[in-house]
Amino acid sequence: MYAELDVPHHTPHFHAYYQDSQAVFSIDPVTMMEGELPERQRRLVMAWAEIHQFELLTDWDLLQDGKAPVKIEPLR
């Protein structure tokens, strides 16, 4: 998740990258909005996002206020 100043964002989301693939996921509900990831990686990203949904939404709000997001624990 990163800030893009002066770019309006209406849906809280984050970007996921795996090798040459990338996708954009909404946070609430957790769904893949666009892009492509291999099936296994897509499922892992979605599971991680569901576990950390509150933290993702909190980070989204921080970014919208021009503040740095808090690091979120990776899926292990």
pLDDT digit string, tens, across residues 20-54: 999 999 999 999 999 999 999 999 999 999 999 99
Tokens for 29, please give them. Answer: 């509900």
pLDDT at 76: 78
Per the confidence metrics, is the pTM higher than 0.85? Answer: yes
